[in-house]
Amino acid sequence: MDIAIPQRCKLCSNERLTILDGVKRCSPDLKEFSIRYYLCEKCASVFHDQLDFLPVDYYGSSYFNAPLRIASLSKSLDFILEHIGDVSGLKALDVGCSNGNFMLLLEKSGFGVRGIELSSQGRSEAVSRGLKVYDSLEFIKNDRFQLITFNHVIEHIDRPAEFVAEHIQFLDKECVLYIEVPSIEVLAKGSGSSFSNLYPNHIFHFSENSIYELAKILRCTVVAVQHHNYLNYPSMMCLLRKSTAAEYQASRFSKHLNYENEEIENKVNHIQAQSSDWPHVVIWGCSDDAYQIINRLSPQSREKLILVDSSVEKIGKSLLGHEVRAPTYLKQIDNFIIAIAPTAPRIIQSIKGAAVELVNCKNHSFCNWGNLGSQ
Protein backbone atom coordinates (compact mmCIF):
# COMPACT_ATOMS: atom_id res chain seq x y z
CA MET A 1 0.00 0.00 0.00
CA ASP A 2 1.34 3.45 -0.91
CA ILE A 3 2.17 5.77 1.97
CA ALA A 4 0.35 9.10 1.84
CA ILE A 5 2.82 11.97 1.61
CA PRO A 6 2.16 14.62 4.28
CA GLN A 7 1.35 18.06 2.95
CA ARG A 8 3.02 19.98 5.76
CA CYS A 9 5.69 19.59 8.41
CA LYS A 10 4.17 18.15 11.57
CA LEU A 11 6.16 20.56 13.69
CA CYS A 12 6.12 23.97 11.98
CA SER A 13 3.48 23.41 9.22
CA ASN A 14 5.91 24.37 6.47
CA GLU A 15 4.90 22.99 3.04
CA ARG A 16 8.44 22.50 1.72
CA LEU A 17 9.30 18.88 2.49
CA THR A 18 12.03 16.66 1.08
CA ILE A 19 11.34 12.92 0.86
CA LEU A 20 14.25 10.99 2.34
CA ASP A 21 15.12 7.30 2.05
CA GLY A 22 12.56 4.77 3.22
CA VAL A 23 13.31 1.86 5.56
CA LYS A 24 11.64 -1.43 6.48
CA ARG A 25 11.26 -2.29 10.16
CA CYS A 26 9.72 -5.05 12.23
CA SER A 27 7.58 -3.93 15.17
CA PRO A 28 7.63 -5.58 18.64
CA ASP A 29 4.59 -7.66 17.67
CA LEU A 30 6.45 -8.80 14.50
CA LYS A 31 4.50 -6.72 11.99
CA GLU A 32 6.51 -5.44 9.04
CA PHE A 33 6.41 -1.71 8.38
CA SER A 34 7.60 0.40 5.48
CA ILE A 35 8.63 3.75 6.90
CA ARG A 36 9.24 6.87 4.87
CA TYR A 37 11.11 9.82 6.36
CA TYR A 38 10.64 13.49 5.50
CA LEU A 39 12.87 16.49 6.03
CA CYS A 40 11.34 19.90 6.67
CA GLU A 41 13.29 22.51 4.72
CA LYS A 42 12.37 25.22 7.24
CA CYS A 43 12.86 23.77 10.72
CA ALA A 44 15.23 20.93 9.65
CA SER A 45 13.41 18.27 11.64
CA VAL A 46 13.09 14.71 10.26
CA PHE A 47 9.89 12.77 10.84
CA HIS A 48 7.93 9.77 9.57
CA ASP A 49 4.27 8.92 9.22
CA GLN A 50 3.95 5.42 10.70
CA LEU A 51 2.16 6.09 13.97
CA ASP A 52 1.26 2.49 14.85
CA PHE A 53 4.76 1.10 15.23
CA LEU A 54 4.87 0.86 19.03
CA PRO A 55 2.27 0.13 21.73
CA VAL A 56 1.97 2.61 24.62
CA ASP A 57 3.43 0.14 27.14
CA TYR A 58 6.45 -0.82 25.05
CA TYR A 59 9.02 0.64 27.48
CA GLY A 60 9.23 -1.41 30.69
CA SER A 61 10.94 -1.21 34.08
CA SER A 62 14.19 -2.73 32.80
CA TYR A 63 14.56 0.20 30.41
CA PHE A 64 13.67 2.95 32.88
CA ASN A 65 15.77 1.53 35.71
CA ALA A 66 18.90 0.91 33.64
CA PRO A 67 21.97 2.53 35.30
CA LEU A 68 22.81 4.51 32.14
CA ARG A 69 19.27 5.85 32.05
CA ILE A 70 19.48 6.99 35.69
CA ALA A 71 22.87 8.62 35.02
CA SER A 72 21.42 10.46 32.05
CA LEU A 73 18.54 11.77 34.17
CA SER A 74 21.07 13.18 36.63
CA LYS A 75 22.73 15.02 33.75
CA SER A 76 19.35 16.46 32.75
CA LEU A 77 18.73 17.65 36.30
CA ASP A 78 22.16 19.29 36.53
CA PHE A 79 21.43 21.17 33.30
CA ILE A 80 18.12 22.45 34.68
CA LEU A 81 19.53 23.47 38.06
CA GLU A 82 22.42 25.27 36.41
CA HIS A 83 19.95 27.69 34.84
CA ILE A 84 17.29 27.88 37.57
CA GLY A 85 19.34 28.11 40.76
CA ASP A 86 17.26 28.08 43.95
CA VAL A 87 14.25 25.78 43.48
CA SER A 88 12.84 25.80 47.00
CA GLY A 89 9.08 26.21 46.89
CA LEU A 90 8.87 25.68 43.12
CA LYS A 91 6.54 23.14 41.52
CA ALA A 92 7.44 20.89 38.58
CA LEU A 93 5.33 18.82 36.21
CA ASP A 94 7.08 15.87 34.54
CA VAL A 95 5.17 14.95 31.36
CA GLY A 96 5.73 11.35 30.26
CA CYS A 97 7.22 10.60 33.66
CA SER A 98 7.27 6.78 33.18
CA ASN A 99 7.96 5.13 36.55
CA GLY A 100 8.93 8.38 38.27
CA ASN A 101 12.72 8.20 38.35
CA PHE A 102 13.14 11.76 37.15
CA MET A 103 10.36 12.93 39.48
CA LEU A 104 12.31 11.51 42.43
CA LEU A 105 15.41 13.45 41.39
CA LEU A 106 13.39 16.65 41.00
CA GLU A 107 11.76 16.06 44.39
CA LYS A 108 15.12 15.44 46.06
CA SER A 109 16.46 18.70 44.61
CA GLY A 110 13.62 20.68 46.25
CA PHE A 111 10.76 20.76 43.74
CA GLY A 112 7.18 19.86 44.56
CA VAL A 113 6.43 17.38 41.75
CA ARG A 114 3.46 16.01 39.79
CA GLY A 115 3.59 13.65 36.83
CA ILE A 116 1.61 12.73 33.71
CA GLU A 117 1.99 9.23 32.25
CA LEU A 118 -0.23 7.39 29.75
CA SER A 119 1.36 3.99 30.30
CA SER A 120 -0.58 2.15 32.99
CA GLN A 121 2.50 0.10 33.87
CA GLY A 122 4.75 3.12 34.38
CA ARG A 123 2.04 5.07 36.19
CA SER A 124 1.32 2.18 38.57
CA GLU A 125 4.99 1.83 39.48
CA ALA A 126 5.35 5.58 40.06
CA VAL A 127 2.26 5.70 42.30
CA SER A 128 3.57 2.73 44.31
CA ARG A 129 6.64 4.86 45.08
CA GLY A 130 4.47 7.54 46.66
CA LEU A 131 4.48 9.88 43.66
CA LYS A 132 1.48 11.82 42.42
CA VAL A 133 1.07 10.70 38.82
CA TYR A 134 -2.02 10.98 36.62
CA ASP A 135 -3.10 9.89 33.16
CA SER A 136 -4.79 13.18 32.27
CA LEU A 137 -4.30 16.93 32.61
CA GLU A 138 -7.79 17.05 34.07
CA PHE A 139 -6.34 16.12 37.48
CA ILE A 140 -3.95 19.10 37.58
CA LYS A 141 -5.97 21.74 35.72
CA ASN A 142 -6.04 24.01 38.80
CA ASP A 143 -2.29 23.77 39.44
CA ARG A 144 0.45 26.10 38.24
CA PHE A 145 4.06 25.00 37.75
CA GLN A 146 7.36 26.82 37.52
CA LEU A 147 8.98 23.98 35.54
CA ILE A 148 7.49 21.52 33.04
CA THR A 149 9.72 18.76 31.68
CA PHE A 150 9.46 16.61 28.54
CA ASN A 151 12.39 14.22 28.90
CA HIS A 152 12.57 12.13 25.70
CA VAL A 153 8.83 12.39 25.17
CA ILE A 154 7.92 14.60 22.22
CA GLU A 155 9.92 12.56 19.69
CA HIS A 156 7.12 9.99 20.12
CA ILE A 157 4.36 12.53 19.46
CA ASP A 158 2.78 13.06 16.03
CA ARG A 159 2.14 16.79 16.61
CA PRO A 160 4.78 17.84 19.15
CA ALA A 161 4.11 21.60 19.14
CA GLU A 162 0.40 21.10 19.80
CA PHE A 163 1.17 18.53 22.49
CA VAL A 164 3.59 20.83 24.35
CA ALA A 165 1.25 23.82 23.99
CA GLU A 166 -1.54 21.82 25.62
CA HIS A 167 0.63 21.29 28.70
CA ILE A 168 2.36 24.63 29.11
CA GLN A 169 -0.91 26.40 29.74
CA PHE A 170 -0.18 25.23 33.30
CA LEU A 171 3.24 26.87 33.35
CA ASP A 172 3.57 30.10 35.28
CA LYS A 173 4.54 33.16 33.27
CA GLU A 174 8.32 33.75 33.14
CA CYS A 175 9.06 30.18 34.19
CA VAL A 176 10.91 27.32 32.55
CA LEU A 177 10.20 24.56 30.03
CA TYR A 178 12.70 21.70 29.72
CA ILE A 179 12.72 19.55 26.57
CA GLU A 180 15.16 16.75 25.84
CA VAL A 181 14.98 15.11 22.42
CA PRO A 182 17.00 13.05 19.92
CA SER A 183 19.27 15.19 17.76
CA ILE A 184 19.33 14.70 14.00
CA GLU A 185 22.46 16.87 13.79
CA VAL A 186 24.84 14.29 15.22
CA LEU A 187 23.15 11.02 14.32
CA ALA A 188 25.91 10.10 11.91
CA LYS A 189 28.26 10.01 14.89
CA GLY A 190 25.97 7.51 16.61
CA SER A 191 26.73 4.54 18.82
CA GLY A 192 28.17 1.07 18.20
CA SER A 193 24.90 -0.44 17.02
CA SER A 194 24.16 0.28 13.38
CA PHE A 195 20.43 0.11 14.15
CA SER A 196 20.42 2.53 17.08
CA ASN A 197 20.30 5.80 15.16
CA LEU A 198 16.83 5.79 13.61
CA TYR A 199 14.51 4.17 16.10
CA PRO A 200 11.13 3.94 14.30
CA ASN A 201 9.44 4.56 17.66
CA HIS A 202 10.80 8.09 17.30
CA ILE A 203 8.44 9.87 14.96
CA PHE A 204 10.68 12.95 15.14
CA HIS A 205 14.37 13.62 15.13
CA PHE A 206 15.02 17.25 15.99
CA SER A 207 17.66 19.72 14.90
CA GLU A 208 18.74 22.71 16.94
CA ASN A 209 16.87 24.81 14.40
CA SER A 210 13.76 22.71 15.15
CA ILE A 211 13.94 23.77 18.77
CA TYR A 212 14.05 27.45 17.83
CA GLU A 213 11.06 26.98 15.50
CA LEU A 214 9.22 25.13 18.27
CA ALA A 215 9.98 28.01 20.65
CA LYS A 216 8.48 30.49 18.18
CA ILE A 217 5.33 28.40 17.83
CA LEU A 218 5.00 28.14 21.62
CA ARG A 219 5.79 31.85 22.03
CA CYS A 220 8.76 30.97 24.19
CA THR A 221 12.37 32.08 24.19
CA VAL A 222 15.31 29.65 24.04
CA VAL A 223 17.55 29.95 27.09
CA ALA A 224 20.08 27.18 26.37
CA VAL A 225 20.69 24.17 24.12
CA GLN A 226 23.32 21.53 24.85
CA HIS A 227 24.14 18.33 22.95
CA HIS A 228 25.00 15.12 24.78
CA ASN A 229 24.76 11.34 24.51
CA TYR A 230 21.64 9.82 26.05
CA LEU A 231 22.12 6.08 26.53
CA ASN A 232 24.78 6.41 23.84
CA TYR A 233 22.20 8.16 21.66
CA PRO A 234 22.81 11.73 20.37
CA SER A 235 20.40 14.12 22.05
CA MET A 236 19.79 17.75 22.96
CA MET A 237 18.91 19.26 26.31
CA CYS A 238 16.88 22.43 25.74
CA LEU A 239 15.65 25.07 28.17
CA LEU A 240 12.91 27.50 27.13
CA ARG A 241 11.05 30.26 28.92
CA LYS A 242 7.35 30.74 28.47
CA SER A 243 7.71 34.52 28.29
CA THR A 244 7.61 35.63 24.67
CA ALA A 245 10.26 37.76 23.06
CA ALA A 246 7.65 40.51 22.69
CA GLU A 247 6.73 40.35 26.36
CA TYR A 248 10.38 40.34 27.30
CA GLN A 249 11.17 43.37 25.16
CA ALA A 250 8.04 45.19 26.39
CA SER A 251 9.20 44.60 29.96
CA ARG A 252 12.69 45.86 29.16
CA PHE A 253 11.27 48.91 27.38
CA SER A 254 9.07 49.70 30.36
CA LYS A 255 12.03 49.47 32.72
CA HIS A 256 14.09 51.70 30.44
CA LEU A 257 11.31 54.27 30.21
CA ASN A 258 10.87 54.30 33.98
CA TYR A 259 14.61 54.79 34.44
CA GLU A 260 14.62 57.61 31.89
CA ASN A 261 11.70 59.31 33.61
CA GLU A 262 13.46 59.06 36.96
CA GLU A 263 16.60 60.64 35.47
CA ILE A 264 14.58 63.53 34.01
CA GLU A 265 12.74 64.08 37.29
CA ASN A 266 16.09 64.19 39.09
CA LYS A 267 17.37 66.84 36.67
CA VAL A 268 14.20 68.91 37.09
CA ASN A 269 14.45 68.69 40.88
CA HIS A 270 18.10 69.79 40.77
CA ILE A 271 17.27 72.81 38.58
CA GLN A 272 14.32 73.92 40.69
CA ALA A 273 16.17 73.47 43.98
CA GLN A 274 19.23 75.42 42.84
CA SER A 275 17.53 78.15 40.80
CA SER A 276 15.30 79.60 43.49
CA ASP A 277 17.78 82.45 44.24
CA TRP A 278 18.51 83.27 40.60
CA PRO A 279 16.38 85.54 38.38
CA HIS A 280 17.32 83.64 35.20
CA VAL A 281 17.64 79.93 34.41
CA VAL A 282 19.61 79.14 31.27
CA ILE A 283 19.24 75.74 29.60
CA TRP A 284 22.10 75.26 27.18
CA GLY A 285 21.52 72.55 24.58
CA CYS A 286 18.08 72.42 22.98
CA SER A 287 17.51 68.76 22.25
CA ASP A 288 15.02 66.18 23.52
CA ASP A 289 16.73 66.36 26.93
CA ALA A 290 15.81 70.03 27.17
CA TYR A 291 12.31 69.33 25.89
CA GLN A 292 11.71 66.67 28.58
CA ILE A 293 13.09 68.95 31.31
CA ILE A 294 11.09 72.04 30.30
CA ASN A 295 7.89 69.98 30.14
CA ARG A 296 8.31 69.07 33.83
CA LEU A 297 9.48 72.40 35.26
CA SER A 298 7.16 74.32 37.53
CA PRO A 299 5.49 77.47 36.12
CA GLN A 300 7.73 79.60 38.36
CA SER A 301 10.90 78.02 36.92
CA ARG A 302 9.61 78.26 33.35
CA GLU A 303 9.09 81.99 33.73
CA LYS A 304 12.85 82.36 34.33
CA LEU A 305 13.91 80.27 31.32
CA ILE A 306 16.37 81.31 28.66
CA LEU A 307 17.20 78.70 26.02
CA VAL A 308 20.63 78.70 24.38
CA ASP A 309 22.10 76.60 21.60
CA SER A 310 25.13 77.01 19.36
CA SER A 311 23.46 75.31 16.38
CA VAL A 312 22.50 77.83 13.68
CA GLU A 313 19.66 75.51 12.65
CA LYS A 314 18.05 75.92 16.08
CA ILE A 315 18.70 79.58 16.83
CA GLY A 316 15.53 81.64 16.38
CA LYS A 317 13.22 78.66 16.61
CA SER A 318 10.83 78.06 19.51
CA LEU A 319 10.79 75.16 21.98
CA LEU A 320 7.67 74.93 24.14
CA GLY A 321 7.06 78.66 23.73
CA HIS A 322 10.63 79.75 24.45
CA GLU A 323 12.87 81.24 21.76
CA VAL A 324 16.21 79.53 21.24
CA ARG A 325 19.01 82.10 21.37
CA ALA A 326 22.66 82.11 20.42
CA PRO A 327 25.21 81.72 23.25
CA THR A 328 26.30 85.35 22.77
CA TYR A 329 22.91 86.38 24.21
CA LEU A 330 24.34 85.59 27.67
CA LYS A 331 26.51 88.74 27.41
CA GLN A 332 23.33 90.80 27.73
CA ILE A 333 22.10 89.35 31.03
CA ASP A 334 23.36 89.00 34.57
CA ASN A 335 22.62 86.78 37.54
CA PHE A 336 21.81 83.41 35.96
CA ILE A 337 22.35 79.75 36.58
CA ILE A 338 23.18 77.45 33.65
CA ALA A 339 21.80 73.93 33.35
CA ILE A 340 23.59 72.04 30.59
CA ALA A 341 21.07 69.59 29.11
CA PRO A 342 23.55 67.12 27.54
CA THR A 343 25.03 64.87 30.21
CA ALA A 344 28.03 63.43 28.35
CA PRO A 345 31.05 64.56 30.43
CA ARG A 346 33.11 65.82 27.47
CA ILE A 347 30.20 67.91 26.15
CA ILE A 348 29.49 69.38 29.59
CA GLN A 349 33.11 70.44 30.06
CA SER A 350 33.24 71.95 26.57
CA ILE A 351 30.06 74.01 27.11
CA LYS A 352 31.25 75.16 30.53
CA GLY A 353 34.46 76.43 28.97
CA ALA A 354 32.58 78.30 26.26
CA ALA A 355 30.15 79.83 28.79
CA VAL A 356 32.90 81.07 31.09
CA GLU A 357 34.72 82.69 28.17
CA LEU A 358 31.50 84.40 27.01
CA VAL A 359 30.24 85.84 30.27
CA ASN A 360 33.65 86.56 31.84
CA CYS A 361 32.78 88.56 35.00
CA LYS A 362 29.02 88.08 34.84
CA ASN A 363 27.37 86.75 37.98
CA HIS A 364 26.50 83.17 37.15
CA SER A 365 26.69 79.58 38.32
CA PHE A 366 26.37 76.09 36.88
CA CYS A 367 23.65 73.73 38.00
CA ASN A 368 25.10 70.86 40.00
CA TRP A 369 23.64 67.62 38.62
CA GLY A 370 24.89 65.59 41.57
CA ASN A 371 25.68 62.09 40.26
CA LEU A 372 23.92 62.70 36.93
CA GLY A 373 27.03 63.83 35.10
CA SER A 374 30.53 65.22 35.40
CA GLN A 375 30.78 68.76 36.71
pLDDT in tens, 216-273: 899 888 989 998 876 667 789 999 987 666 665 676 688 788 888 888 898 899 999 9
At 374, the pLDDT band (50, 70, 90 cuts) reads very low
At 193, the pLDDT band (50, 70, 90 cuts) reads very low
What is the C-alpha to C-alpha distance for residues 182 and 38, in angstroms, rounded to an integer?
16
The DSSP secondary-structure symbol of 364 reads: E
pLDDT per residue over 335-373, tens digit each?
999 988 766 666 777 888 888 888 877 888 888 876 444
| CA 131 vs CA 72, 93, 304: distances in Å | 21, 12, 74
The DSSP secondary-structure symbol of 206 reads: B
What is the C-alpha to C-alpha distance for residues 133 and 116, in angstroms, rounded to an integer?
6
State the chain's mean pLDDT as an integer.
84
What is the C-alpha to C-alpha distance for residues 123 and 126, in angstroms, rounded to an integer?
5
Q: Is the pLDDT of residue 65 over 70?
A: no
Q: Is the pLDDT of residue 6 over 90?
A: no
Per DSSP, the three-state class of 53 is coil
Q: Whole-prediction pTM value?
A: 0.63
* Per-residue confidence (pLDDT) for residue 30, from 0 to 100: 76
What is the C-alpha to C-alpha distance for residues 163 and 10, in angstroms, rounded to an integer?
11
At 21, the pLDDT band (50, 70, 90 cuts) reads confident
The DSSP secondary-structure symbol of 289 reads: H
- Pairing mode, if any, of strands 305-308 and 322-325? parallel
CB-based contacts of 40: which residues, under 8 Å, 6+ apart? 9, 11, 12, 14, 16, 17, 46, 47, 210
Query: Fold identical between 48-243 and 269-372?
Result: yes
Q: Which of 184-188, 210-214, 264-268, 363-367 has the lowest mean pLDDT?
A: 184-188
In degrees and rounded to multiples of 5, residue 313 shows phi and psi of -70, -25
Per DSSP, the three-state class of 77 is helix
Closest CA relative to residue 197, chosen from 231, 157, 227:
231
Mean of the pLDDT values across residues 90-98? 94
* Per-residue confidence (pLDDT) for residue 235, from 0 to 100: 84
What is the C-alpha to C-alpha distance for residues 151 and 180, in angstroms, rounded to an integer?
5
| CA 38 vs CA 4, 17, 18, 235: distances in Å | 12, 6, 6, 19
- Top pLDDT among 68 and 206 is at 206
Q: How many CB atoms lie within 10 A of CB 338?
A: 22
* Per-residue confidence (pLDDT) for residue 231, from 0 to 100: 62
Sign of the CA dihedral 314, 319, 321, 326? negative
> Which amino acid would we find at residue 243?
S
Using an 8 Å Cβ cutoff, are 274 and 336 in contact?
A: no
Hey, where are the domains in the chain?
48-243, 269-372
What is the C-alpha to C-alpha distance for residues 45 and 202, in angstroms, rounded to an integer?
12
What is the C-alpha to C-alpha distance for residues 253 and 210, in angstroms, rounded to an integer?
29
What is the C-alpha to C-alpha distance for residues 131 and 65, in angstroms, rounded to an integer?
16
In degrees and rounded to multiples of 5, residue 300 shows phi and psi of -65, -40
Mean of the pLDDT values across residues 29-42? 84
* Per-residue confidence (pLDDT) for residue 189, from 0 to 100: 55
* Per-residue confidence (pLDDT) for residue 373, from 0 to 100: 40
- Top pLDDT among 301 and 343 is at 301
Angle at which helices 101-109 and 67-84 pack, to 10 degrees?
Answer: 40
Q: Is the pLDDT of residue 375 over 50?
A: no
pLDDT per residue over 119-176, tens digit each?
888 899 999 999 999 998 888 888 889 999 999 999 989 899 999 998 888 777 767 8
Mean of the pLDDT values across residues 29-50? 85
End-to-end CA distance of the chain: 84
Residue 156 exposure: Cα atoms within 13 Å on the Cβ side: 17
Q: Which of 17-26, 27-36, 240-249, 316-325 has the lowest mean pLDDT?
A: 240-249
* CATH homologous superfamily for the domain 48-243: Vaccinia Virus protein VP39 (3.40.50.150)
* Per-residue confidence (pLDDT) for residue 57, from 0 to 100: 58
Q: Is the pLDDT of residue 194 over 50?
A: no
> Which amino acid would we find at residue 372?
L
Closest CA relative to residue 322, chosen from 295, 355, 289:
295
* Per-residue confidence (pLDDT) for residue 195, from 0 to 100: 45
Topology classification of domain 269-372:
Rossmann fold (3.40.50)
